[in-house]
Every structure is written in structure tokens, then in C-alpha cells.
Structure 1
Amino acid sequence: MNIDTKSPAIILQDGRDKALNRRHPWLFSNAIKQVINTPNRGDTVEVYSSSGQWLARAAYSPSSQIRARIWTFQQDEAIDVAFFSRRLSRAWALRQSLFDQSTDGIRLIAAESDGLPGITIDKYADVLVLQLVSAGADAQRKNLLAALIQLFPSHSIYERSDVDVRKKEGLKPVTGWLAAEREHGEVLIKEHGMTLLVDVIQGHKTGFYLDQRASRAAVKRLASGARVLNCFSYTGTFAVAALQGGASEVINADMSELALSTASRNAELNQLDLSKLTNVKADVFKLLRQYHEQGELFDIIILDPPKFAESKSQLMGACRGYKDINRLAMQLVKPGGLLFTFSCSGLMEDSLFQKVVADAALDANRDCLFIEKLQQDSDHPVASFFPEGYYLKGLVCKIW
């Protein structure tokens, strides 16, 4: 064995190096035979095969089932400011090639897919929002921040590391300004001819759902003359897209008063006819049943619910939830109308989601034609070695 006994290291069980040889960035606890020099949470460790071959350099997480996340497969690559500068610069160059200046709300770093496991960074105009969900990412905050400031010296930087998944890594929530502090978290972004308000402090996730950019464009393209029901509307960006596309009426439905208030502000920012927009604070499942009893019908219904499955054990329950809500929605679509339906549950595979929607159509006694598939936009890339990076699935359904 050629193991450096001075540095923290992991030795794998025999035969457990196959995933790493395919460049998958996760090491699970049951793949590890021995831990040398007891690394602390987030420490960088060397990873060796059972025969002592150096494989990778990773971040150690003693509390998580994902015991280590790979930073690099290059033995001469240190995990320092220069490392983060290289990964950030590569990711930014890709985004610049994908989007012009008419769109300035962009996912800069999509975690593992951009070679930075546990790190998400969204760029809203001149505000960067950082979310660190792994022990290694948390431990490298200073290096990452230094690299970000080098690349974007005039930007404000806010941290939104307040998601529940940090608990699995033994981490507490962290939020706050890291650079160029501002009095509030509101920022305006541009997207396909829309001006949209993002609140990086109070908003969901990092403040906004950039992954639905292409879906909003699809709604805009198909909404002419339509009466639209926008379920789980959040800040009403699908509504703005529909109204810009010529919708005759849009109803936003959401449980959050703050989100619905922002939805009105988004309509105002785009100088839309507010008489065509109604905001309804309601539980969507109950509202759909109520509308069915009242005989309401819509030309387009948009279903963009929160994640229904956080783990494999929740997947069957999620299928029942998706089936129920799609059945309810289909009953409210006029014959010949459209249903835009989405799942952001990464565990819900394409084929399974399509089957669930097909089963919902049978239960609703409606014919359903899948006319278009939608997914996360191109600033949320999926690395060939990390299929888990693909999570957002959408179907545009013609309902008869």
C-alpha cells in the first residue's frame, strides 16, 4: 500500500471503487473499510482502494450516510481558493454561452453537476445567493467566498444555508450577508421579456425557481385567449408569462399571503391588466374539489407542487398524491384544453411520473395526450456521471 499515513484518509472495502472509477462523486458509509487519522466534519480526506491505490480527494461527513463527497479525481489538485476559482470560472463560462443579457437570473453552480458537491449558487442580477448543504461545502466557505469575490467583485453575496438536509450532515442553519450587505433582500431580474421580483432572504430555496424558466416560456407560448388556473403559484411567475402570452384570465392559488402579494407586484412590474388576475389563498387540493363542485372549467391548468418525496420510503405516497391532484385538475380542464403538470421529486423517474399521470386520466375518465415534455433549464445541467442531478419533470397534456 502507498497510503500517506500523515493525512486523514479513507480506505474502501474490496470491490467498492467501481462508482468512483465511473466518476460518481458520492461515497456511502457501507463502502468504507477504514478511516485513518480520524478527520473532523468537513475535512478533506484522501480516498484509497482496498489495495492502496489513490482514487480521489473528498470531503468527510461523519454524520451522513453519504460519508464523503468527491472534490477531485486529480491527485495534484489541492482544495484551495484556486480550485474553487477554476470550477466557478468554468461554470460561469458555460452560463454565459447559454444566456444573453436579456436573462440575468441564472443558476451559477448546480452542485455535483458543476464539480462542487453540496454547493448551489444562484445569480440574481448583481446578487449571488449561496447555499451549502454538505459538511465539506460548509467547511470550505472561506475559500469559496474568496473565489466568488475574485470572479464577481461588485456583487452582493447572501447565504441561504437554511434547508433541512443540513441536519443529515450534522449542520445548523446559517443565513446572512457575506459580502456587500444590503438593507433588504429584494432584487429584480429579467427573464424572456419579464421583470420579476426575487426576495433572497424570505423567498423559497434561494429566493426563486430558476429551473422553471423554459416552462414559463412554454406557458407564454400557449396561453393566448386562455382562462388559466395557476396552482401552487408561489410568486405568480407563470401568471405573468400567461398574461404576457395573451391569457384572458389567470387565477393564482397558493397558501402563502406573502407569495400572493409578490405575485400582484410581479404583475404590476410588467404593467399587466390586473383586472385579469385573481389571487386565491387556498389549499390547492381543497380548491380543486370546490371548483369541481361549482362546475368551473379552465383552458389551462398549471400544477407545480412542492416535492412530494424526500426519500424512497415516501415514493409510493408521493405517487398517490400526484395521481390525486392530477385527477382533480383534469376534471377541470375544458375538452381540448391543456394541463401543465410537474414533479420536482428527484426520486420520481420520468416513466413513473408519466404512468401516474396516465392513471390519473383513467380515473378522471378523460383522454390525455402527452404533447410536450419539459425539464429543468440548461443552467441546471446534469453531469453524465451524476444522473441524480436530473429532478424536474414536466408534461404538457392535451385533455379531451
Structure 2
Amino acid sequence: MRILVNERGAERLLSRHLWVFARDVVSGPEAPGLFPVYWGRRLLALALYNPQSALRVRAFRFRPAEDPEKALLENLQRAVSRRLGALGREPEGGFRLAHAEGDFLPGLVVDYYAGHAVVQATAYAWEALLPQVAEILKPYVKSVLARNDAKAREMEGLPLYVRPLWGEVPERVTVKEGRVRYLVDLKGGQKTGAFLDQRENRTLMESLRGERALDVFSYAGGFALHLALGFKEVVAVDSSGEALAWAQENARMNGLAIQTVEANAFDYLRALEKAGERFDLVVLDPPAFAKGKKDLERAYRAYKEVNLRAIRLLKEGGVLATASCSHYLTEPLFYGMLAEAAKDTHRVLRVLERRGQPFDHPVLLNHPETHYLKFALLEVL
């Protein structure tokens, strides 16, 4: 059995983009699975395939293999092997062991939290392979949990569930990150439990010093904890009271003091500006305002507004640490938005650092969707 694509689908695979959508698939098997992809008689790739999904083809290899399943699982083993140095240096840390398309493992994410693995599969073909995935992970972890509760699974025709694949899975674990520790709810936290892609940007905050810092869209206080090591007053703002309760628990565990405010970020920033409040540093780590291409114009305005408000709150020489996790807001658009916000506030932004995803969230230049995180450290003059 094979998948046949049209010329446009072939062009995508020949350019080494991993995806082909339903409109460019001429024919394919009736059931999901792993199959070779052809353009006429030319083999283009091996791919995960689901005839029910709009994202019909997800390539994982661009050369033949006698056993496609073995080839896919070898990609997982290679991905894990590339992270072993980090795990050895910080076994109590948090790392991504498998980054979907970035590791030629489309539809599969595996995160490591202090010796425990959390797996999330959002492509149909992975469902039957989860026992093999757990077997590959066993030598490196104490337990493997399937967090298959992502809404994206519904588009693949898959059920939502959370269940152990191997070992005894704790309700929560303590993860070490730089000089702080934080709690992770493996079975109920955001995504697979926490947001690991900002790890290195959070630890960067430990090198900064000042009087007052503001962490907006704080979730469980990730940036605020690191800032509390060097700032006399740290305020963490989030719309979730539950997340802020976790932030306070994390702060107590580290012997740190932070203030938490449950509020809509936009409303709170306006209120701070009206009250004449000023800060030495503001962190903005919002959710993806642009979840689809159609959202980009509205999202651009939202990113600009929240950054504009933050700039107005900063003292001269203050620092803005700002991020976007939407790949639709490209890096040029991100920095263009920041330039517009600076212009509208009549202030100058000096770039201190341009940053992005850590090594365990690899980017494929041929597959731009893998490049989603932008992070800028800016001095406000």
C-alpha cells in the first residue's frame, strides 16, 4: 500500500517540508498507518498517514526503509540520545526528549520531568506504537505517562485520556531549574505539565538585579521565581487563581517572596499605568494570540498593545523581556511589532539579546512551523 500525491504535494516533500494536506493527496490506504509516499513512480518519503485528517501526510524519513515502523522508532531513540548529556548534568531538571517534527517524530512530544516521562501523541499512527515508545524510554526514567488529552487528537479521530504506560506515576514532581525548584502536576498541568521551552530564558533572569519586577501571564510563577533571587519586589500576574496558588507554593518551597495578582493582563497593565507605577523589569510571556493564520491581524494588535503598555511602565534603563510563542507571528513581524510599540511610546528600545527555543526544541529551516518561540531582552531608553 502506498500514498500518491499530486505535483504540489511532491513539491512540498521535495523541499523537505514534512506536511502534505488532504487537497494534495491523490490516493491512499483506507486505514491510518505508516506508508511510503510516491509522486508517480518516484518515492518521496515515508510518512504517518490518516485518511480522516486534513493534515493527511506527515513525513518522517526521506529515503526508503525495509521496516518503516523500525525507522520511525529509531528517530525517537536518536532524539533521546541527543538529550542524554543534559539529563546526565541535571537529572532533576526538565527537558524535551522528543520535539515532534523538529526530531522527525511528527505528532509526538515526550517531556522529561526529574526522572519521569510524559508522552503526548497527536497523530493517529502513534497510538498503536505507544508500548514501543515506553520501552525506548524505560532505561532513562522511572515512569512513563500518556497525557493524551490534547484537543488536537479529536481532529485525528482519537479518544482523549490520561493513563500510565509504565511504572508508578506520581501526582506531581519537583523540577530543578537553575537556582530554583518548581512543582509540576504531571496528570493535570498545562500541556504535558509545564512549559519547558522558556527554561533557558527563565534562568537568564537570575543574572538581573533591581528593585521592582513584573511577571505578566505568569502561570505558576516561572519567571517570577528566578527574578525573586535578584529583585526586592516581584509581582506575578495571571488570570488563573489556581496557577497563582502554585506560584505561591513554589515561592515558599524556595524560601522566596512574590506577590500574586489574579487579573486580566490587559486591564491590569492599564490600571498600573493610570496609577503611575514604574518597574525596573517587565516580563511578557503571553499565550499564542495567533492560533491560526486568520488570527494574525488581531493577534498582532494584541501583542502590540501589551508590549506598548509594558514599555510605558518601565523606568529609563529598565528591561523588557518579551516573548511570542505563535509561529504565525514570524521573527520579522515580532521585531517589527516591537519597533512600532517603541515608536508609539516615543521611547527607544535597545536590543540586549535575541533569543528563542532551547536546544531540546529543535528548529527545521525547511519546516518553518517548528520555529515558534521568539524572546527579546530589550533596554528601554
TM-score scaled by structure 2?
Answer: 0.94
Find out whether 1:143 has 2:132 as its counterpart.
yes
Show the counterpart of 1:26. 19
197-206 or 377-386, larger mean C-alpha shift: 377-386
Q: Contact 1:119–1:132 (CA<8 Å) still a contact in 2?
A: yes
Q: Contact 2:96–2:196 (CA<8 Å) still a contact in 1?
A: yes
Q: 2:189 aligns with which of 181, 203, 209?
A: 203
Show the counterpart of 1:57. 46
CA separation in 2, counterparts of 1:138 and 1:346? Answer: 27
Query: In structure 2, the residue corresponding to 1:23 is in which secondary structure?
Result: coil
334-343 or 383-392, larger mean C-alpha shift: 383-392
Q: Classify 1:53/1:361 alpha carbon distance in 2 versus 1 (closer, same or farther; 3 Å).
A: same
Q: Contact 1:62–1:169 (CA<8 Å) still a contact in 2?
A: no
Show the counterpart of 1:3. none
Query: In structure 2, the residue corresponding to 1:340 is in which secondary structure?
Result: strand
Find out whether 1:86 has 2:74 as its counterpart.
yes
Q: Contact 1:26–1:69 (CA<8 Å) still a contact in 2?
A: yes
Q: Classify 1:85/1:68 alpha carbon distance in 2 versus 1 (closer, same or farther; 3 Å).
A: closer
Q: 1:231 aligns with which of 203, 216, 224?
A: 216
Give the counterpart letter for 2:80 in structure 1. W
Show the counterpart of 2:30. 39
- 1:203 is displaced (CA, Å) by 1.1
Find out whether 1:74 has 2:74 as its counterpart.
no
CA separation in 2, counterparts of 1:258 and 1:16? Answer: 45
- 1:21 is displaced (CA, Å) by 2.5
**1:1-400 pair list within 5 angstroms:** 7=1, 9-14=2-7, 16-35=9-28, 38-40=29-31, 42-50=32-40, 52-80=41-69, 82-83=70-71, 85-98=73-86, 100-102=88-90, 104-149=93-138, 151-152=139-140, 154-182=141-169, 184-222=170-208, 224-244=209-229, 246-272=230-256, 274=257, 277-400=258-381
Query: In structure 2, the residue corresponding to 1:163 is in which secondary structure?
Result: coil
CA separation in 1, counterparts of 2:159 and 2:239? Answer: 27
CA separation in 1, counterparts of 2:8 and 2:312? Answer: 52
- 1:79 is displaced (CA, Å) by 3.4
Give the counterpart letter for 1:91 in structure 2. A
Q: Deviations over 1:297-329 (max 9, x none)?
A: 110000000010111100111001001111111
Percent of aligned pairs with the same residue?
A: 35
Q: Classify 1:384/1:360 alpha carbon distance in 2 versus 1 (closer, same or farther; 3 Å).
A: closer
Q: Contact 1:303–1:341 (CA<8 Å) still a contact in 2?
A: yes
Unaligned runs of 5+ in 1: 1-6
CA separation in 2, counterparts of 1:110 and 1:148? Answer: 14
Q: Deviations over 1:214-257 (max 9, x none)?
A: 111221112x123100001111121111122x111100101112
- 1:71 is displaced (CA, Å) by 3.1
Query: In structure 2, the residue corresponding to 1:66 is in which secondary structure?
Result: coil
Greater than 3 Å deviation, 4+ residue runs: 82-85, 97-100
Give the counterpart letter for 1:64 in structure 2. S
Give the counterpart letter for 2:67 in structure 1. A
Q: Contact 1:105–1:125 (CA<8 Å) still a contact in 2?
A: yes
Give the counterpart letter for 1:225 in structure 2. G
Give the counterpart letter for 2:12 in structure 1. A
Give the counterpart letter for 1:172 in structure 2. P
Q: Classify 1:230/1:125 alpha carbon distance in 2 versus 1 (closer, same or farther; 3 Å).
A: same
Q: Contact 1:84–1:147 (CA<8 Å) still a contact in 2?
A: no
115-124 or 258-267, larger mean C-alpha shift: 258-267
Query: In structure 2, the residue corresponding to 1:170 is in which secondary structure?
Result: coil
CA separation in 1, counterparts of 2:124 and 2:330? Answer: 28
